[in-house]
Amino acid sequence: FAIRASEGRTLWRREIGATRSAPVVTGGRLAVATLTDTLFVLDAATGSLVSRATLPTSAVAPPTLLDDSTMVLADPSG
């Protein structure tokens, strides 16, 4: 969910599943890797689903932003 910090008001709420870490913010989007090996990309302003992709393996650490459009994830094999 997203909350406007200045007011404490909930802006939007979206259920996508359990995660190991916070979303990665890039541009006007949020990227979230879930425990079901799925990457969700949400619109940061509305919470609407932009895209969804199955990851080839489980992510064991929080994703890191490499540049404006690339995230790095670590898998169990390193």
Rounded Cα–Cα distance for residues 58 and 42 (Å): 20
**Over 70: is that where the pLDDT of 56 sits?**
yes
> Chain centroid to CA 25: how far?
8
What number is the average pLDDT over the span 64-75? 86
Residue 53: which pLDDT band, with cuts at 50, 70 and 90? Answer: very high
What number is the average pLDDT over the span 51-75? 85
Of 33, 19, 23, nearest in space to 2 by CA: 23
What number is the average pLDDT over the span 13-37? 89
